């Protein structure tokens, strides 16, 4: 740090605190969830803090992402899926078939199946338009999708997907917007 910067540091700190106090007067600190008054900007009130559901085990030890699980400890499930992908010229088809078994004391033991498919055109690596289909016990949906891959040097890359799923039956939501962003390094 330069000598001038070191000498002026107390002045910079005072200006930062004064600016923060002015912001607090204009925009009083409020809970980010319920907007109740709190002591400092960017926090939560005690009531909202108590309502936070923190990630609990089981979760991925590397990424900290929770694994899918039922809320009830008396319901369990096991699933297996077959994934297949095939390219035909500039067209790519992907098919996922799955079987899931749910069991426990709170439900009737049952098997469920699910399928998803994607058919896309390889316009270029960064943009591949296509169509998706989803079906399971209650859901039947189809809709347009855009996918792409952006290489950022070396082995690192960004993969993205976005789509709109429209219903094919009465038990599927009116529309589902889907977005995925993945970074590989």
- Closest Cα to residue 78, out of 98, 56, 60, 58? 98
The answer to whether the beta carbons of residues 94 and 84 sit under 8 Å apart is yes
Tell me the pLDDT tens digit for each residue of 90-124. 999 999 998 888 888 777 888 889 999 999 999 99
Confirm whether pTM is higher than 0.85: no
Percentage of the residues of the chain whose pLDDT score is greater than 90: 34
d(CA 173, CA 143): 13
Work out the mean pLDDT of the chain and round it to a whole number.
Answer: 84
pLDDT of residue 71: 55
- Closest Cα to residue 110, out of 134, 136, 77? 77
pLDDT of residue 150: 92
**Which residue ranges of the chain lie beneath pLDDT 70?**
1, 24, 55-73
């Amino acid at each position: 740090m330069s000598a001038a910067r070191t000498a002026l540091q107390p002045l910079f700190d005072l200006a930062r605190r004064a600016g923060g106090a002015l912001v607090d007067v204009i925009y009083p600190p409020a809970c980010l969830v319920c907007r109740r008054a709190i002591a400092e900007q960017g926090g939560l009130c005690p009531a909202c803090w108590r309502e936070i559901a923190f990630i609990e085990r089981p979760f991925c030890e590397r990424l900290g992402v929770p694994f899918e699980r039922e809320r009830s400890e008396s319901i369990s499930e096991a699933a297996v899926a077959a994934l297949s992908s095939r390219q035909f010229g500039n067209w790519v088809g992907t098919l996922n078939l799955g079987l899931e078994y749910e069991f426990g004391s709170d439900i009737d033991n049952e098997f469920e199946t699910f399928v998803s498919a994607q058919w896309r055109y390889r316009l270029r690596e960064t943009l591949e338009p296509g169509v998706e289909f989803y079906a399971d016990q209650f859901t039947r949906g189809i809709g347009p999708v855009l996918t792409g891959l952006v290489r950022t040097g070396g082995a690192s890359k960004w993969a993205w997907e976005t789509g709109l799923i429209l219903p094919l039956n009465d038990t599927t939501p009116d529309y589902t917007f889907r977005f995925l962003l993945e970074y590989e390094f």
